[in-house]
A and B are shown apart, each in its own frame.
Chain A
Amino acid sequence: GENVEQHPSTLSVQEGDSAVIKCTYSDSASNYFPWYKQELGKRPQLIIDIRSNVGEKKDQRIAVTLNKTAKHFSLHITETQPEDSAVYFCAADNQAGTALIFGKGTTLSVSS
C-alpha cells in the first residue's frame, strides 16, 4: 500500500546549525507534500508545502526540496533556534488525492 518513510526519528543539533529531515514515498502519483510541526501537547501546524511541479520552495529559514524521480523530499532548517524544537511530520497525498499519508515523525532537539 501507499507508504511514507521518514528519517531520522530523532535529531539533535546545536543552536545555529542546520537540520535536515528526509522522506521517501511509494506512490508515483503523489503530487502534494506538506510538512507539519507539532509542539508538545499541541496541534500539528503546517510550516511549508510543495507540489510536484516545483523542485524547491523556501520560506525564510525553512526550505523543502523534491525529487520526483527518486520519490523523496526533504526539509531543511537553517540557523536553528531552540524554539524549532518539536516533532516534524512529512506527508504525501494518496493516489486519489483525497487524503494524506503521514510519516512517523522526527523529534528535533535544538540545544543552546
Chain B
Amino acid sequence: DGGITQSPKYLFRKEGQNVTLSCEQNLNHDAMYWYRQDPGQGLRLIYYSQIVNDFQKGDIAEGYSVSREKKESFPLTVTSAQKNPTAFYLCASSMGGRGRQPQHFGDGTRLSIL
C-alpha cells in the first residue's frame, strides 16, 4: 500500500552497531506493528503500538526497541544485543487500534550483517 513507507529498502549492520528502520504511514491508522520474516518461519511479531506513546512487546522483542512519539511514525531499532538480525522486516498498520481490522503492510527492509 502506498500509505506505508519503509526505509531503507536494504540495510547493512556492522558488529556492535545499532541500526534504525523507519516506518511512516499516512493512513491515519492508530495501530502499528513490526514483524520479522525468516524463510519458513512466517511473520513473527516484534513490537506493536495501539496509540501514541504506548507499545507492547510481541513474541520476539529481545534485542529490539521501538518508539511511538507520533501517530504516523513507528521506528524500530535493532540493537547490538540482537545476535542474529539478518532478516526481512515488515511494518504494518491498522485502523481502530484493534487487531480485528485488516493490517496493511509496507514494502519491507532487508537487513544483513557485514
Question: B-side interface residues toward A, CB under 8 Å?
Answer: 1, 31, 33, 35, 40-45, 48, 50, 56, 58-59, 90, 97-108
Contact = CB atoms under 8 A, between A and B. Distances in A.
Contacts of B98: 97-98
B102 A44 contact: no
A103 B58 CA distance: 15
Task: In the A-B complex, list the 9 residue pairs whose CB atoms are closest, starting with the nearest.
Answer: A93-B99, A104-B42, A32-B100, A43-B105, A102-B43, A102-B42, A99-B99, A97-B98, A97-B99
B42 A94 contact: no
Interface stretch (A11-19, A45-53, A76-84): A45-53
Contacts of A96: 99
Contacts, number: 62
Contact of B42 (A1, A43, A105): A105
Interface residues of A, number: 26
A1 to B, nearest CB: 8
A42 interface: yes
A89 interface: yes
Nearest to A46: B102
Contacts of A99: 33, 45, 48, 56, 58, 99
A43 B100 contact: no
A98 B98 CA distance: 5
Given A44-B90, A89-B42, A105-B42, A100 B56 contact: no
Given A43-B107, A99-B48, A49 B102 contact: yes
A34 B42 contact: no
A42 B101 CA distance: 21
Interface string A43-66: 111100101000000000000000
